[in-house]
A = this chain, B = another copy of it.
Amino acid sequence: MSAPSDPVIRPLRADAARNHAAILAAARSALEADGADVALEEVARRAGVAPSTLYRRFSGRDELVAAVLEDYVAESVEPLLARAAADEDPWGALTGVLEGLVDGVTRHRGLLAAAKAVGAFTPELAARTLGPLGELLRRGQAAGVVRGDLEPDDLLVVVHMAVVTAEHDSRRWPRYLDLLLDGMAVGRPRAAGDLRP
């Protein structure tokens, strides 16, 4: 799922590194399957380790969730932002990245809920995504296709709004993202004027 996270002081022993990765992977799937407040003992069980091993590696739920989130952002979110930055069409880049974010986050709602609960969204983590997002927004506004009274923070809120619609019907979020995009646009630059079903 990920490289063993940087062994700053001293490399982890091979078995320890394996367990570290197994715990992260188990936590991610357990959060989806059992919800944000899954028992850490369940995570340990899925990883095939004893609870004490999990607690030795992570001080508690907060640290574990933060590590999983960091993992997810580095692996899924940042590449998406990088790809969008290379897109030459301002509207396409912005909608593409929002769509990608919502699609990804929708599949990891448990992780996100847990991260919210333990306060794992540090200012630094937010800044890592807000920088590129703000740049995409600025480009769209400069091109005159995105309304000028939107701020970078608003984009995270838009993603959040689209994601929660998955609680009503997990396959219908594109419809509601369309609705939001129509509100964000100047004129109606979307290809098709109708909301997706």
Question: B-contacting residues of A (Cβ < 8 Å)?
Answer: 37, 116, 147, 149-150, 153-154, 156-158, 160-162, 164-165, 167-168, 175-176, 178-184, 194-195
A160 in contact with B168 given A179-B184, A183-B183 (CB within 8 Å):
yes
A176 to B, closest residue via Cβ: B157
9 contacts between A and B (CB under 8 A): A149-B195, A156-B168, A157-B165, A157-B176, A160-B164, A161-B164, A164-B164, A179-B180, A179-B183
Contact of A165 among B149, B150, B160, B184 (CB under 8 A): B160
Q: How far is the CA of A15 from the CA of B153 in the complex (A)?
A: 52
List of B residues within 8 angstroms of A156 by Cβ: 168
Q: How far is the CA of A175 from the CA of B184 in the complex (A)?
A: 12
List of B residues within 8 angstroms of A161 by Cβ: 161-162, 164-165, 176, 180
Please give 14 more A-B residue pairs, beta carbons under 8 A apart, in addition to A147-B195, A154-B176, A180-B180: A116-B167, A149-B194, A149-B195, A150-B195, A157-B176, A160-B167, A161-B161, A161-B162, A161-B164, A164-B164, A179-B180, A179-B183, A183-B183, A183-B184
List of B residues within 8 angstroms of A150 by Cβ: 195
Q: How far is the CA of A157 from the CA of B170 in the complex (A)?
A: 12
List of B residues within 8 angstroms of A167 by Cβ: 116, 160
Q: How far is the CA of A184 from the CA of B194 in the complex (A)?
A: 11
A147 to B, closest residue via Cβ: B195
Q: How far is the CA of A116 from the CA of B164 in the complex (A)?
A: 12
Closest chain B CB from A98 CB (angstroms): 13
